[in-house]
Chain A
Amino acid sequence: MSAISFQSITKAYQRPSAERTSPASAASFLALDGVSFDIEEGEFFGLLGPNGAGKTTLISILAGLALPTGGSVRVLGHDVQTDYSQARRLLGVVPQELVFDPFFNVRELLRIQSGYFGVRNNDAWIDELLENLGLTDKANANMRQLSGGMKRRVLVAQALVHKPPVIVLDEPTAGVDVELRQTLWQFIAKLNKQGHTVLLTTHYLEEAEALCGRIGMLNSGRLVALDRTSDLLKAASSNVLRFKLDGELPLALAARARVTGRIVQLPTHDALDVERYLAAVREAGLVAQDVEIRKADLEDVFLEVMSRSRGDNAAAAAAARNQEHVA
């Protein structure tokens, strides 16, 4: 049985009338457009996508915080709407926003959160959570006194307090320091080894590459890639030519390049590509410095998939416009 099963999830949001630029633009827009995929038990799954791709909307629907316009989600076979009680017991969600209840201290909060799930006498597990997340000496501190990083740890503890078999982390490392990231990933990896399923959304592609066995990519509400991380890396252009350049990159290369300040990176399949790129640079009267060739990483794959899906979307939109003219 799948740990999580998304079936044709669609989510339309009503657009406030003030935001409609012309009478023709739709009154609603699709945040998710027919997203279907399954995550198997015990998987460490990464959900990637740019801001506004629909990742958080998808997680919200899974967690019951938002209702889908169409489609259904099951957690270990339990529908999150019709069988929400069981589905939510099986799910531990770390929300993206750094939210907290200022009235209570850490231990009180964790006891209360256990209680909501009907878990009694949970102190042994609460102690273990505090220990693993480096919170033991903050157990009696009020939430208001904690730093941002500490609050983030409490969020993780709250999500795990009822020992859910399926763990969902929505950008848990956004804006946290290296130490917490290490602690957190060690702990989550340990839980994953013990059999917990993990669904992770993140902007840090190195993290996803290091941790996730399989990756799905969302763009504009559609699933544009879904594969094993290793296969995604293999399928992409296998190498990247990297060099520094003082001056304007020739137009022919700019369209394919990933440029960060002076650093230029170009997807490369073979020696011919390398020669062509460097020739183009030379013809422009420039000199490539610090030239190196490296293996493609997930960021390259991500950018490639995103630019391809943008192309697809543009083509689909153009086709739709043409049809309107015909009609």
Chain B
Amino acid sequence: MNGWQTLFYKEVLRFWKVAFQTIAGPVLTAMLYLLIFGHALETHVKVYGVVSYTAFLVPGLAMMSLLQNAFANSSSSLIMSKVMGNLVFLLLTPLHYMHWFVAYVGASVVRGLVVGLGVFVVAAPFTDMQFAQPLWIFAFALMGAALMGALGLIAGLWAEKFDQLAAFQNFVVMPMTFLSGVFYSIHSLPPFWQGVSHFNPFFYMIDGFRFGFFGISDVSPWLSFGVVGATLLAVSVLSLQLLRSGYKLRT
């Protein structure tokens, strides 16, 4: 293995060694959401008029778990290495900043996809899944995980303490995922909040992802693709810039 492959392997091994916490935990949480909201709302709500609430909820929960875990992987790995001080072993290596990016984001993508897949596997018995356009499913899963992995990289570089990272997670990532339409179609919202939702990039990730399953969505999948792609590009450029300059890494 060469340098970036080793770092990628190490990052995957890191979360795999504590898979109970990094994979099983998030899958269980998603299941609890599914059981509780599904039970409470199944008989009351039909989304887009045709899709049962549980069927609607599963892709949203899978995507939410995927995004949160992709973010958690790069951000927590970086902050731990910084706080423990062992990031020095990486800083002493000849690895190029591009290698850091590929390895950290790559491992985030792997964890995001594994958790997302885990949610499907466990949720499958509860509903009849459809896979109208699988290519869209895959495209949005991949782009969403990469975007959150890169965002986690930025947060991990920026944060100096665990509580700063927790603040980023609780006040930015959580509200944006919960308000993105995981639990509802934004068409059920009052017009003002519908408008606000359109400024949330998470909404496009979930909406585009869901289109892959049902062939129906709140906005065109091409619009979602464009917004998610542009956001991914912007976040990647910013995190590469921070890595290149040695932001909070090399004083």
A9 CB to closest chain B CB (Å) equals: 14
A13 CB to closest chain B CB (Å) equals: 8
Contact B251 A66 (CB under 8 A): yes
Q: Which of chain A's residues 87-135 have a Cβ closer than 8 Å to chain B?
A: 88-89, 91, 93, 95, 97, 99-104, 108, 112-118, 120
Task: Select from chain A the residue with minimum beta-carbon distance to B245.
Answer: A67
A29 CB to closest chain B CB (Å) equals: 14
Complex formed: what's the CA distance from A93 to B249 in Å? 17
CB-CB under 8 A from A85, the residues of chain B are 94, 96
In the complex, B195 has a CB within 8 A of chain A? no
Complex formed: what's the CA distance from A85 to B95 in Å? 7
Contact B9 A115 (CB under 8 A): yes
CB-CB under 8 A from A95, the residues of chain B are 88
- Interface size class for chain B? 20 to 34
Complex formed: what's the CA distance from A213 to B93 in Å? 29
Contact A102 B92 (CB under 8 A): no
Task: Count how many chain A residues have C-beta atoms less than 8 Å from C-beta atoms of the other chain.
Answer: 32
Looking at A66, A97, A99, the one whose CB has the most chain B CB atoms below 10 A away is A99
Contact B90 A116 (CB under 8 A): yes
Contact A117 B1 (CB under 8 A): no
Checking A101, A114, A117 against B94 with a beta-carbon cut-off of 8 angstroms, the contacting residue is A117
In the complex, B250 has a CB within 8 A of chain A? yes
CB-CB under 8 A from B164, the residues of chain A are none
Complex formed: what's the CA distance from A108 to B96 in Å? 22
Contact A63 B86 (CB under 8 A): no
CB-CB under 8 A from B14, the residues of chain A are 103
**A-B contact number at CB 8 A:** 77
Contact A158 B2 (CB under 8 A): no
CB-CB under 8 A from A112, the residues of chain B are 6, 9-10
Task: Select from chain B the residue with minimum beta-carbon distance to A158.
Answer: B89
Contact B251 A97 (CB under 8 A): no
In the complex, A37 has a CB within 8 A of chain B? no
Complex formed: what's the CA distance from A115 to B94 in Å? 11
In the complex, B17 has a CB within 8 A of chain A? yes
Looking at B9, B13, B90, B91, the one whose CB has the most chain A CB atoms below 10 A away is B91
Complex formed: what's the CA distance from A65 to B251 in Å? 7
Task: Select from chain B the residue with minimum beta-carbon distance to A112.
Answer: B10
In the complex, A86 has a CB within 8 A of chain B? yes
* Complex interface bits, A23-63 against B, C-beta within 8 A gives 1, otherwise 0: 00000000000000000000000000000000000001001
In the complex, A216 has a CB within 8 A of chain B? no
In the complex, A149 has a CB within 8 A of chain B? no
Contact B250 A66 (CB under 8 A): yes
Complex formed: what's the CA distance from A326 to B14 in Å? 64
Looking at B1, B5, B92, the one whose CB has the most chain A CB atoms below 10 A away is B92
CB-CB under 8 A from A103, the residues of chain B are 13-14, 17-18
* Complex interface bits, A271-308 against B, C-beta within 8 A gives 1, otherwise 0: 00000000000000000000000000000000000000
In the complex, A243 has a CB within 8 A of chain B? no
A84 CB to closest chain B CB (Å) equals: 7
Task: Select from chain A the residue with minimum beta-carbon distance to B16.
Answer: A103
Checking A88, A97, A102, A104 against B93 with a beta-carbon cut-off of 8 angstroms, the contacting residue is A88
Are A116 and B250 also in contact (CB < 8 A) when A65-B88, A88-B93, A101-B84 are?
Answer: no
Contact B1 A115 (CB under 8 A): yes
In the complex, A148 has a CB within 8 A of chain B? no
Q: Which residues on B are within 8 Å of A, measured CB to CB?
A: 1-3, 5-7, 9-10, 13-14, 17-18, 81, 84-86, 88-96, 246, 250-251
> Can you list 29 A-B contacts with CB-CB less than 8 angstroms, sorted by A residue number?
A63-B91, A63-B92, A64-B91, A64-B92, A64-B250, A65-B88, A65-B91, A67-B246, A88-B92, A88-B93, A89-B94, A91-B92, A93-B92, A99-B89, A100-B84, A103-B14, A103-B17, A108-B13, A115-B3, A115-B5, A115-B9, A115-B10, A116-B7, A116-B89, A116-B90, A116-B94, A116-B95, A117-B3, A117-B94
Q: Which residues on A are within 8 Å of B, measured CB to CB?
A: 60, 63-67, 84-86, 88-89, 91, 93, 95, 97, 99-104, 108, 112-118, 120, 158-159
